[in-house]
Homo-oligomer: A and B are copies of this chain.
């Protein structure tokens, strides 16, 4: 097991049994989640941005317009950034109100942003990102032009200061409540992809690609 080094910032103090510093566990959560939330400090104040992301090796990648205010802040000021990812797996219905809970798998990561200038690394990040959002998509679409590349910024974060936290399983009730008549269990939650909706300007005769079926 390849554990990341704990730091003061990533050590889980509340219910530490739910925590993990295992790199594979952290990566599996990052790879399943489509979206993360970035937080950083500017002028002493907290700011947050929800955004898509992907992981390649030991780096987490985001991208955005060079005209975006937060991308420019990340690029020029390189603030320590806290990134969180949360997969919400279920609502845990206990027999008592206070033992209700949520099943989840989450990651919190700290790191400083690095703007990616290497063109090959930029390209790989965009390809990985696109295929994460929709597997199979990258090979099917028009690739970026030189001007589009100039308008886009790719930023990476090292993954070396992070922890995962998760809850699984059913409710844990007070022993005397197990005799009650209340139904107890878990309502699983899942972010699902529904039936693709064609663009109103889609040309006639273009079939739904195989990678979007089922």
Contacts and interface: CB of A to CB of B under 8 A. Distances in A.
A28 interface: no
Contacts of A152: 98
Nearest to A174: B142
Say whether chain A's binding surface is mostly helix, strand, loop, or mixed: mixed
A82 B93 CA distance: 29
Contacts of A180: 142
Contact of A148 (B9, B40, B44, B98): B98
Contacts of A126: 97
Interface size class of A (residues with CB under 8 A): 35 or more
Interface in A138-193: 138, 140-144, 148, 151-152, 170-171, 177-193
Q: Which 9 pairs from chain A and chain B are nearest by CB?
A: A39-B39, A50-B86, A96-B142, A188-B194, A184-B199, A185-B198, A46-B82, A48-B84, A170-B199
